[in-house]
């Protein structure tokens, strides 16, 4: 899947949004299905990257990092935590995430704020084991043997159950700048 940058400056007013964290070697099909399923359920997504620029999938596709992990609140960043976070699957992608302490900090901040975190398949079990150990009993979802579409249904249901989908007249402003 090749996805060019969608904007040079994008302002949207959202009740909820989800970042999909991708690193080189991500499992393209699961990410593409998850993005379409989330959009179909009214939960807009943005690609979160470890570095600026294009992120190459395991099969050669590309997505652009719309937001950088260093911009997210919790490490001196300028953006608030997202309402939900999905980590792309894939062994190579998981190894990059495993080696980057910012990923661990972001996941811990998300769980501390009671916001849903999910791992798309195929799950990198080394990453899952480390995140589960550091989560301190806080739950996060992993795709396991479910199809991506049914996993996204479960993820969105969890999102709504945690109260992150706010139905208020005042909507939060999320400004995304391409790097």
- Reported as a single tens digit per residue, the pLDDT across 114-160 is 889 999 989 888 888 888 888 776 667 877 778 888 888 888 888 87
Q: What is the pLDDT of residue 160?
A: 79
Q: CB under 8 Å to 31, separation ≥6 — which residues?
A: 1, 20, 22, 57, 63, 88, 89, 120
Whether the upstream peptide bond of residue 122 has omega within 30° of 0, thus cis, is yes
CATH architecture of 2-177: 3-Layer(aba) Sandwich (3.40)
Stretch among 26-35, 49-58, 135-144, 157-166 having the lowest mean pLDDT? 157-166
pTM greater than 0.85 (yes/no): no
What number is the average pLDDT over the span 9-36? 79
Q: What is the pLDDT of residue 137?
A: 65
What number is the average pLDDT over the span 92-97? 95
Asked if 110 and 80 touch (Cβ cutoff 8 Å), the reply is no
Whole-angstrom distance, CA of residue 177 vs CA of residue 85: 19
Q: What does the DSSP 8-state code read for residue 15?
A: S
User: pLDDT band at 167, cuts 50/70/90?
Assistant: very low
> What does the pLDDT look like over 33-46, one tens digit per residue?
999 999 988 888 99
Asked if 119 and 142 touch (Cβ cutoff 8 Å), the reply is yes
Q: What is the pLDDT of residue 38?
A: 92
Three-class DSSP category at 21? strand
User: pLDDT band at 75, cuts 50/70/90?
Assistant: low
Residue-averaged pLDDT of the chain: 79
Domain boundaries, the chain: 2-177
Q: Which is more confident, 87 or 167?
A: 87
């Amino acid at each position: 899947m090749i996805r060019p940058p969608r904007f040079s400056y994008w302002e949207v007013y959202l009740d909820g949004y989800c970042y999909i964290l991708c690193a080189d070697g991500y499992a393209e099909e699961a990410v593409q299905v998850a993005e379409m399923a989330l959009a179909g359920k009214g939960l807009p997504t943005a690609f979160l990257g470890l570095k600026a620029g294009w992120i190459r999938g395991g099969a050669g596709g590309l997505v652009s990092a719309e937001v950088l992990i260093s911009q997210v609140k919790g490490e001196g960043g300028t953006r608030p935590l997202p309402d939900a976070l999905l980590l792309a699957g894939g062994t190579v992608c998981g190894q990059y995430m495993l080696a980057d302490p910012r990923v661990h900090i972001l996941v811990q901040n998300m769980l501390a704020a009671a916001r849903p975190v999910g791992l798309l398949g195929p799950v990198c079990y080394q990453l899952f084991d480390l995140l589960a150990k550091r989560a301190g009993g806080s739950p996060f979802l992993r795709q396991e043997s479910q199809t991506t579409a049914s996993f996204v249904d479960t993820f969105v249901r969890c999102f709504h159950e945690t109260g992150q989908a706010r139905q208020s007249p005042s909507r939060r402003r999320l400004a995304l700048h391409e790097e």
